[in-house]
Chain A
Amino acid sequence: MTPQANARAELLELINSKMNRTLKYYLDTCVRCAICKDACHQYVATGDVLYLPAYRAELIRRIYKKYMTGSGRLMPKLFEGRDPEDDVLLDELYKTTYACTSCRRCMFWCPFSIDTSWVLAVAKALLLATGRGSEILTQLADSAIDKGKNIDLYTGVIREVLKGSEEEMRRVVQDPNAGFVYDKKGADVLYVALAGTHTILPAAIIFHEAGEDWTLSSFEGSNYGYFLGDTVKAKEIAQRIVDEAKNLGVKEIVMSECGHAHRVMRDFYRMWAKEELPAPMVSVLSKVDGYIKDGRITVTPGKITEPVTYHDPCQIGRNFGLFEEPRNIIRATCSDFRDMTPNRQKQWCCGGGGGLVAETEFDDVRLKSGRLKADQIKATGASILVTPCENCRLQIESLNDEYNLDIEVSAVLDLVVKALVTKST
């Protein structure tokens, strides 16, 4: 075989290795009706066919048709069959694949419920195999893996940095013995935060007030290996938390306000590692909603009087199933809650998912496609936007500047802390 034929055979073998029944349905069933065009914020905002969901998947379908179906082998022209090593194809595939936020809004409107992001998972594997993986996502994923291997070098520094936040916590709960709990064997809850104390402090205060038996994970929930589409790296990153949960023997893994980490832990890890989690994964939103309902913590009803709106992160709403828990928390703490239109499973993606806020090369499409979200926010007249996903928050912060929204962006737990009636009072 020539080197080119060899490369092609290897890439086809790779696509084949990613094949499963659902993916095959998706590849065989699409009729290119393009109903998905109006579902994708990137296509609606740019009008560029590259961002049309069916077109994104079509790039992979054209390889599939030419090499993996009888009719396509016989008549490749009929399906515009393409080669997997074709540079033009791969360049296009790079732009469309890493721009996709995996919000799966197109799946919602597709008459066949085709999940474009799933087809693009194959595209990511193909891009990685041809040396075209996103550089920045690769670096971020590698540094997370590195942290897992050398955790002892990190913990001392991190815990030192967090001392200021612990001070803040003691001030709020007015308990000199309060603090972040580390490495507690047999704790009920392993709380997995993100990089940054803003995702730790509110939860720590709430856990303290609820009398929760918790311990803080040394690792962050975010997983750049997942955004990159490298399942080996993604598994390794998630594995750090799983191993920690095993070692500590915790009863629950509680995930902080981070969209994709919810799905990585509950849905994807199982597939990558071919094993179940050592303890069930629970969202911190469900946990805190439960605390309020069960009276384990007390909040002042209507404490926050400014108009508040809520953005459903795609990975927490449509793709994970938490619609009401965050709304319950908002209703318990705010007097003027205004839902966006559309909302819940029909919610527009903010435009920042899929690791996009970290990939500066996609800034243009990210900010343009955020226009839909900006318009939605404006229409509510709210002055506080609440959302439980770090990527969404970062994106909406940039939309705040770009579209002069004049809103305060807040996490859900921040509301709880604001409205909290501490036991010491």
Chain B
Amino acid sequence: MNWFQYVFAGWFVYIALLVFIGGLIWQVVKWRRVAKSRIIMGMFPKPANLGARFAKMLKDTFFFPWVLDYSKSIWLFAGAFHLAGLLMFVGHLRLIHEFTPLVSWLGANGMDQFAFLTGGAFGIVLTVALIYLLLRRFGTPYKDLSVPEDYLLLILLLLIVTMGNHLRFFGTVHVTDYRDYVMSLLAFKPAFNAAILSSNVPWSLTTHVMLACAFLIYFPFSKLVHSIGAFASNLVRSE
């Protein structure tokens, strides 16, 4: 690792995780510190009890069923974008620990093929959805509503995903080598092994990690807090 890689694919990761987790906690604390509204402002019809309210809140948050009523394309792209993002995150966990049940079912080769297909597919879905969401911002009335933050986040994500696609489709490095890198991070001794250093990925891997860290750092201070705020505000809906 050169110094740039050591800083931005190494120590930056720790800073990013600290800011991300601390920032989200801070955001929740900020919400909790403001007095609750004295007024009940939910809309009707309302669920009968707290259990039904939570069920409705989870359904509204994860499936946003009403959006389907209005625009199938935005429901599809937003849904595909969030789902692919989530599954992509789950896929990355393989770099911390191999999904052994899947390996024993598919075999080592089968697992690699499976990872290539799913990871590749999610990468493409994310790229397409991000381009759609970005282009949409330039049309009327979205451009009048949008603020620089909206473009910044989409471009940042698009760059992260593009780097990821490079690693996936053009990289010559095997999963075990990436796992070595993640393990080195977990051991607080960030390092790329010889296989990574001699491959064609150090620049894209470093950029991928660095931008992902920037994304995590910005996350708690941006509109991305909708990822936790959605649960709260959708619960208020049935208050």
Q: Which one of B92-100, B138-146, B167-175 contacts A? A: B138-146
Chain A residues with CB under 8 Å of B236's CB are 22, 25, 113, 115
B27 interface contact, C-beta 8 A: yes
Q: Which one of A51-59, A216-224, A283-291, A325-333 contacts B? A: A51-59
Among B31, B67, B236, max chain A CB count under 10 A is at B236
In the complex, the answer to whether B221 meets A32 with C-beta atoms within 8 Å is no
Q: What 0/1 readout, one digit per residue, does chain A (30-56) give for beta carbons within 8 Å of chain B?
A: 111111011100010001010010110
Chain A residues with CB under 8 Å of B187's CB are none
Q: Given A22-B236, A320-B44, A321-B44, A112–B230 Cβ distance below 8 Å?
A: yes
How many residue pairs, one in A and one in B, have C-beta atoms under 8 Å apart?
Answer: 151
B45 interface contact, C-beta 8 A: yes
Q: How far is the CA of A140 from the CA of B225 in the complex (A)?
A: 42
The B interface is mostly helix, strand or loop, or mixed, namely helix
Chain A residue total in the interface (Cβ 8 A): 58
The A interface is mostly helix, strand or loop, or mixed, namely helix
Residue of B whose beta carbon sits closest to that of A111: B64
Q: Which one of B69-77, B176-184, B199-207 contacts A? A: B69-77
Q: How far is the CA of A71 from the CA of B34 in the complex (A)?
A: 18
B148 interface contact, C-beta 8 A: yes
Q: Which one of B9-17, B35-43, B122-130 contacts A? A: B35-43
11 pairs from A and B in contact (CB 8 Å cutoff): A21-B37, A28-B223, A30-B226, A33-B74, A62-B147, A69-B221, A107-B237, A118-B41, A271-B37, A323-B45, A346-B69
Taking A34-B145, A55-B141 as known contacts, 15 extra A-B pairs with beta carbons closer than 8 A to each other, sorted by chain A number, are A20-B38, A22-B36, A25-B232, A29-B226, A30-B226, A35-B70, A38-B70, A49-B145, A54-B145, A79-B149, A109-B69, A113-B60, A267-B41, A274-B38, A319-B44
B105 interface contact, C-beta 8 A: no
B interface residue count range (under 10 / 10 to 19 / 20 to 34 / 35 or more): 35 or more
Residue of A whose beta carbon sits closest to that of B224: A31
Q: What 0/1 readout, one digit per residue, does chain B (140-164) give for beta carbons within 8 Å of chain A?
A: 1110111111101000000000000
Chain A residues with CB under 8 Å of B229's CB are 25, 28-29, 112
In the complex, the answer to whether B226 meets A78 with C-beta atoms within 8 Å is no
Taking Cβ atoms with an 8 Å cutoff, the residues of A that contact B are 19-26, 28-35, 37-39, 43, 47, 49, 52, 54-55, 58, 62, 69-71, 77-80, 104, 107-109, 111-115, 118, 267-268, 270-271, 274, 317-321, 323, 344-346
